[in-house]
A and B are shown apart, each in its own frame.
Chain A
């Protein structure tokens, strides 16, 4: 579609991930997820997606995207054999508990790594 709007003055400041042309490139996945998952209008569709699911998703995304290399180094690759796919409740709860522990361990470890590089306030600030 033709676009009568003025050319954006701010265009020259685009980060490299975004093309300066009319057709915008895909963009940073993190930025996109941040927007489509957390913002915009929330309406109850007919298909109810439990918000808890979204929360779990977000936790996972945070770990997967945030530290995939670190996690792999630590032998954590649970998202590749996801117990949620099995849908067995008891296992699921147990697995959930275990994942939380591992998540906490990874976060601790990340904290240690960062602490040696960067002051503690940063971590607190990010909470």
Chain B
């Protein structure tokens, strides 16, 4: 038994080129390529005292550790994706050795090629839209006047106590916000549809919590779009058309096509979940 595991980042078609020089993965370990069946799997060594089952179970609960691994993983995927279509693999996919990774490429060749074909020549962009808060209306007319100069508010013939006026304004303000939110949500739907027309793939993810997004505004769209670079101007125009009017639009990317390479190879027909530490990955049941 070795105390070193093999961490898998991503799979690409084998271009014959070496990984970008000096590319480092998690814990700063060098990234190398396993080539088999016309595919290349990018891997690095990881110590099993961190990436073994038991340690992982603990460490995955430590935010700092997860952040380091996530950023390293992401960096490798991003770097690879600038040269060739890439299929990112989910965080912390670890094998016992290079042979197992090679077997995987052989066994799942068709699946990988299908995914790579889909994202080839395209890039993923993220679009987040926020409903911006309507500005607080300043206490206007009757309320401030009545508070300042007694119950003689013009336009409201009868006296409205400051308290009542406050409540009324508060209610109006809330209603205003609700309407603003509804309107932004509707616009977000139209935006998603418009972008989806231009993109080769579109999907929506859960809106992020305001603290996660780092903004106070409510996220009304968290979309991902797979885009042919030739259509980027069109995409950009569509985005611009939806800016303003109570909605802010934020663009991120280009990303490696994380959102369009979702493929669950974990459910091999005829293979139940294997026990811990299985020395061989599940046998392919497709006969290849």
Report if B35 contacts A (CB, 8 A): no
- The contact of B52 among A28, A40, A41, A47, by CB within 8 Å, is A47
Q: SS class of chain B's interface: helix, strand, loop or mixed?
A: mixed
Interface size class on chain B is 35 or more
Within 8 A of A (CB), among B106-159: 108, 112, 115, 123, 125-126
User: A65 contacts B211, CB within 8 Å?
Assistant: yes
Contact with A along B63-94 (1 / 0, CB 8 A): 10011001101100110001100011111111
- Nearest residue (CB) in A for B52 is A47
Q: Would you give the shortest CB distance from A57 to chain B, in whole angstroms?
A: 5
Question: Within 8 Å CB of B63, what residues of A?
Answer: 60-61, 64-65, 79
Shortest beta-carbon distance from A51 to chain B in Å: 9
Q: How many residues of A contact B (CB 8 A)?
A: 62
> What is the bound-complex CA distance between A52 and B47, given in angstroms?
23
A24 to B48, CA, bound (A): 30
Contacts A48-B274, A118-B177 given; indicate if A43 touches B185 (C-beta within 8 A).
no
Extra contacts besides A28-B252, A43-B90, A64-B63 (16): CB < 8 Å: A5-B229, A8-B254, A10-B125, A10-B232, A30-B212, A40-B88, A40-B89, A40-B261, A44-B268, A45-B93, A47-B5, A47-B92, A57-B66, A62-B209, A62-B212, A65-B209
Closest 4 pairs between A and B when the two form their complex, measured CB to CB: A40-B88, A35-B258, A47-B94, A9-B232
